[in-house]
Amino acid sequence: LMASVGSQVSVSPTLYLRKERVPVGGSVLPPATPPGFSNATQVSADSSIYYLYELENGLTIRGQTNQAQRAQVTLPPNVGYSVLFYAPDTNRSGIMSGRTGASGERVTEMPCLTHIGGFDFDNDGVPDIGEHVIGSDPTDPDSDGDGVPDGAEIKSGLNPLDGISFPTGVISNVGVQGQAKDVVVTGATNDPTRTFVYLATGSHGAAIVDATRFDAPIVLGQVDLNGDATGIALDAANRTAVVAANAGGLHLVDIADPMTPTRIATWDVVAAHVEVADGVAYAAGAGALRAIDTATGELLATVALSSGSFTGLAIEGATLYAMDDRRFLHVYDIADDRLLEIATLQLSDGGGRIFAGDGIVYAAATSNFRGGYAVVDVSDPTNPVSISGSDIASPLIAPRTEFIPNGSGRGLLIGSAGNVQAADLMESSNLADTAAFLTRFELPAAPFAAAIGAGIGFIADGAAGLQIVNYSPFDNLGQPPTADLNLSSLDVDFNAPGIQVLEGSTAPIHVSVTDDVQVRHVELLLNERVVASDISFPFEFSVQLPFTTPVSSTATLRARATDTGGNATLSDPVVLNLVPDTFPPTILAANPDDATRHFAGMRTLSIQFSEAMDASQLNASNIRLAPVGNLAATIVPTDVRIKRDGREVQLTYPPLAQGDYQVTLAANQLRDRVGNTLGAGNVQWQFEVLENRDPGQTLATALDLGTLGPRLTFQDFFGVGELGEADPEDIFVFTLAEAATVTATIANPTGDVRLELFANYDGDPQLEFNESLHSGTDGLCCNSVRDFSFSQQLPPGTYNLRLTPESFNDAGQYTLILNTSPIPISTSSDPGTTGATALNLGPLAGEIVIDEVVGAFDFDDIYRFSLSDASTVSGTISKQTEDLNVQLYGDLDADGVFEFNERLVSVGDG
């Protein structure tokens, strides 16, 4: 035996127990032919030596030795192991065991192979111990069922496990033009056995690989793109990919034909990372995060860091997570195509790529010299909680580029570990322990990104191309996975027994799975028919439910999980009670909305409905746009997209010129999926498209934006005009018809600017300091590469925005984006601002909860209540968005005026 110094190695007896088939009854099944014994001196001329490591923690590692006849396997610290070797060219085997040291070991021992042949239960010429090491079935002479016996395949240099198992480690690689820098893996929508890989390829662009045969991947097509492509994301519904190419821009690529991917458009956006959800690309680069409509390239929203840059993005549901190089995890609500930051959390370790799934964010510990990864609980996205930082301790060094979980309690941690480029297999079932190392697979180059699909690792390995890694042996233990559906959140009537769902609605489905080895794919069954499949964790689906019929008012959902050994299981069926939909749909929002103003060049009309609509009727015949002066001249859209699971339609037109336009909906043709129509006649509204004129420099000449709708975008120069004239300030005026949150964003500025929000209380021609509601003096200033934004809750009224250069010499261009969302008010009327107009709550009894807005024109909210008995009264202010002061008065003289001597309590939040 050859062993490293300090390790304990013992020789096991040359004994191998034969595995026999035992039926349910309990007696041994007789083999088709009597079990034999393999004593040939050679099974194959192949000089490779197969090995099988079996660790006491349950991990198994299979492979073949290199030319030096050393099994180069990295094992975790303080673990017992045994290793079996088999050499087909001599039909010899050997076995040894040991325990690793405190820092693990890179094991290279090789015992003397003294044992010749052995029992051959299936009489295929390969001894049972050899089949156990190789991974073939010792009870089946043709393990892969291809008609050629295992022994004959080994003798001919073929694979006896063709398509059903591979050795652990790098099983194949494929070169691409450029460098593999990001990777996305997906299955075919109608065939979970198909696997496709999409790569961002650095200096070249993008590539598509068919990896259905993991050991023989095929490059289908490549496309040359400007820039350094470091990020890629798929928009499967529209059969496109978005590629982030840094200074080369953000590219939209048609992938409908994978053999000929074709660039559709390029947007002038600096981006290194990108994710896509519901037709919107979220691109991060140069310290800015932008939301971009993939149909038009329109900038929908942007946020920027005060310093530093974003290093990773991940989306789960309607939440976007972003990591920056200061280890801050930013959480954004993207439900309305906006970037509404709802939480931030600074991690002890982070600053790299991230992954989100099952309410957990996994963050690479790029900031930590020893590497590893951190774990954050985001089950409540508004309150992220750190579970663990990196637990890697001296003297160990782990990769730190990216961690990808597989959904079965393990994951791949990739990157550089000292001088080694590696993919480490980690045990991740205990979220509080991020140092549970299992084994390491060395890579030829420093990896950039990884993905897991169909139980296989796909690594973007820079100049070394795509590396395909079988990090865990295919499951041959026969134990199927478990699958669980918890659909209680879909219930629309908690008072009725069972789960009630609206007929014809779209249901988001999450499947929780576990397996002893590795889940390959999950399928969703509706009424016992497969309607969707997924090969990557998290396993999430969206399915349209059926309609009620005279004979059925239920639907049954099940999930089928299949592991890498082909073992499958069905979840318990979940019966959904279909509630008849008798309500007509309504319009929730539209952009452009009625009586709103926009600017020449706008291209899109979007309408949100209260429920999913019949997509076949959401077309240009039933949704017509025309100039007010010529309603017969209907403008033909260039693109129609259905979004939000059928609840929104977006129509894209050629750029609109200045003028008034009318939207006409054929309400009797627009119907929900059940058939309820929007109405009997037509629904109409009008909006105005303004010329792109320079905003005025006074209140009298301010650019009137009208009543704000959901979104408005305007571009102009500052400091100097388009023709070089002095332009010291741009002033805008707008109106709110109802209380709303207004988010004002300055995007793509080419110089330093300041943006201020005013309410002109006294109506004079000046904007005074005391009329400022939000000023650029509190961190809103930017430099030439920083976007910035602020949000303000405002009551109905008229407001002004003023944009000025930060200094006398500053000049350049900017884009102003205004996003508006109504604020729901639960009270029937706004509380008054005097004793006479106070909102009377009457005799106080029990608890009263009120949601309200105060500020700007609504400086005070005054409530009146009475008590019938001496009582203890408790008042609480919560969820406030600004500093508040609250006073309790007893109006002793009943004059409706609150004097200082009548004050009982005065509190504030500091």
156 pLDDT higher than 80: no
Whole-number Å distance between alpha carbons of 307 and 67:
51
The closest of 573, 553, 437, 410 to 106, measured between CA atoms, is: 437
Q: Are residues 366 and 402 in the same domain?
A: yes
Residue 771 CB neighbour total at 10 angstroms: 18
Place of tokens 């430099």: 783
Which of 84-98, 195-209, 822-836 is least confident? 822-836
pLDDT at residue 779 in the model? 42
Given 558, 579, 600, which residue is the final one in a domain? 579
- The answer to whether 78 and 100 are in contact (CB under 8 A) is yes
Q: Are residues 848 and 894 in the same domain?
A: yes
598 pLDDT higher than 80: yes
Q: What is the mean pLDDT of residues 354-365?
A: 98
Select the more confidently predicted residue: 764 or 311.
Answer: 311
278 pLDDT higher than 80: yes
Q: What token pair was written down for 894?
A: 């009943």
Q: Are residues 231 and 343 in the same domain?
A: yes
Output the pTM of the full model: 0.82
Q: Are residues 666 and 599 in the same domain?
A: yes
3-class secondary-structure state, position 490:
helix
Average pLDDT of the chain, as a whole number: 87
Helix, strand, coil % over all residues of the chain, rounded to 5: 5, 45, 50
Q: Does 652 fall in a domain?
A: yes
Whole-number Å distance between alpha carbons of 742 and 32:
78
Q: Does 3 fall in a domain?
A: no
Q: What token pair was written down for 317?
A: 């549901």
Q: Does 226 fall in a domain?
A: yes
Place of tokens 């796909």: 458
- The answer to whether 790 and 778 are in contact (CB under 8 A) is no
Q: What token pair was written down for 481?
A: 């996975």
Distance between start and end Cα atoms, the chain: 74
139 pLDDT higher than 90: no
* pLDDT tens per residue across span 38-86: 888 888 877 788 888 888 888 888 888 755 666 678 888 888 988 899 8
Given 523, 558, 579, which residue is the final one in a domain? 579
Given 445, 470, 495, which residue is the final one in a domain? 470
Q: Does 477 fall in a domain?
A: no
Q: Are residues 771 and 836 in the same domain?
A: no
Q: How many CA within 13 A on the CB side of residue 910? A: 0
- The answer to whether 447 and 415 are in contact (CB under 8 A) is yes
Q: Per residue in 96-112, is it b (16+ CB within 10 Å) or e — as a string?
A: bbbbbeeebbebbbbbe
Place of tokens 């007696």: 27
Pairing of strands 574-579, 499-502: parallel
Q: Does 106 fall in a domain?
A: yes
pLDDT at residue 590 in the model? 94
163 pLDDT higher than 70: no
Q: Does 163 fall in a domain?
A: no
The structural domain count of the chain equals: 6
The closest of 642, 729, 602, 692 to 298, measured between CA atoms, is: 602
Q: In the chain, what percentage of residues exceed pLDDT 90?
A: 56
Q: What is the mean pLDDT of residues 295-308?
A: 89
Whole-number Å distance between alpha carbons of 623 and 632:
13
Q: Are residues 55 and 196 in the same domain?
A: no
343 bridge partner residues: 331
Which residues does 554 contact at the CB level (< 8 Å), separation at least 6?
575, 576, 577, 578
Q: What token pair was written down for 236?
A: 């499967």
* DSSP letter string, 512-563: EEE-SS-EEEEEEEETTEEEEEE-SSSEEEEEE----BTTB-EEEEEEEEEE
Residue 709 CB neighbour total at 10 angstroms: 22
CATH for 665: 2.60.40.1220
3-class secondary-structure state, position 148:
coil
Q: Are residues 78 and 180 in the same domain?
A: no
Place of tokens 């290093």: 311
34 pLDDT higher than 90: no
| pLDDT range class, residue 157, cuts 50, 70, 90 | low
Q: Are residues 123 and 55 in the same domain?
A: yes
One-letter amino acid for residue 801 of the chain:
L
288 pLDDT higher than 60: yes
Q: Are residues 686 and 712 in the same domain?
A: no
The closest of 527, 431, 447, 519 to 481, measured between CA atoms, is: 519
* pLDDT tens per residue across span 674-687: 999 999 989 999 99
Q: Does 696 fall in a domain?
A: no
- Cis omega (within 30 of 0) on the bond before 395? yes
pLDDT at residue 671 in the model? 97
Whole-number Å distance between alpha carbons of 559 and 510:
10
The closest of 609, 578, 608 to 672, measured between CA atoms, is: 609
803 pLDDT higher than 50: yes
Q: What is the mean pLDDT of residues 191-211?
A: 94
pLDDT at residue 909 in the model? 59
One-letter amino acid for residue 593 of the chain:
D
* DSSP letter string, 302-325: EEE-SSS-EEEEEEETTEEEEEET
HEC profile of 492-522: CCCCCCCEEEECCCEEEEEEEEECCCCEEEE
Q: How many CA within 13 A on the CB side of residue 429? A: 10
Whole-number Å distance between alpha carbons of 311 and 273:
8
Q: In the chain, what percentage of residues exceed pLDDT 70?
A: 90
Q: What token pair was written down for 258?
A: 């994978």
pLDDT at residue 784 in the model? 47
| pLDDT range class, residue 543, cuts 50, 70, 90 | very high
Select the more confidently predicted residue: 321 or 475.
Answer: 321
The closest of 151, 35, 139, 33 to 88, measured between CA atoms, is: 151
Whole-number Å distance between alpha carbons of 347 and 125:
58
Q: What is the mean pLDDT of residues 418-440?
A: 95
Residue 434 CB neighbour total at 10 angstroms: 27
Select the more confidently predicted residue: 415 or 1.
Answer: 415
Order of strands across the sheet with 456-460?
169-174, 466-470, 456-460, 449-453
Whole-number Å distance between alpha carbons of 645 and 277:
12
Q: Which long-range contacts (CB under 8 A, 24 or more apart) does 263-268 make?
A: 263/223, 263/225, 264/240, 265/297, 266/225, 266/226, 267/292, 267/297
Q: Does 763 fall in a domain?
A: yes
Q: Are residues 779 and 683 in the same domain?
A: no
Q: What is the mean pLDDT of residues 843-857?
A: 77
Q: Are residues 670 and 731 in the same domain?
A: no
CATH for 496: 2.60.40.10
One-letter amino acid for residue 781 of the chain:
C
Q: For residue 50, what are the CA distances in angstroms to 92, 130, 171?
A: 11, 8, 14
pLDDT at residue 120 in the model? 86
- Cis omega (within 30 of 0) on the bond before 637? no
Pairing of strands 50-55, 169-174: unpaired
Range of the domain at 500: 482-579
Whole-number Å distance between alpha carbons of 363 and 349:
8
Which residues does 112 contact at the CB level (< 8 Å), separation at least 6?
1, 94
One-letter amino acid for residue 553 of the chain:
S
Q: Are residues 65 and 12 in the same domain?
A: yes
CATH for 713: 2.60.120.1050
**Which helix (H) or strand (E) covers residue 779, if one does?**
none
pLDDT at residue 855 in the model? 65
pLDDT at residue 26 in the model? 42
Q: What is the mean pLDDT of residues 847-857?
A: 75
CATH for 186: 2.130.10.10
Select the more confidently predicted residue: 21 or 881.
Answer: 881
Pairing of strands 288-293, 280-285: antiparallel
* pLDDT tens per residue across span 438-468: 999 999 999 999 999 999 999 999 999 999 9
Which of 40-49, 629-638, 764-773 is least confident? 40-49
One-letter amino acid for residue 649 of the chain:
V
Which residues does 666 contact at the CB level (< 8 Å), separation at least 6?
621, 622, 623, 624, 682
HEC profile of 461-485: CECCCEEEEECCCCCCCCCCCEEEE
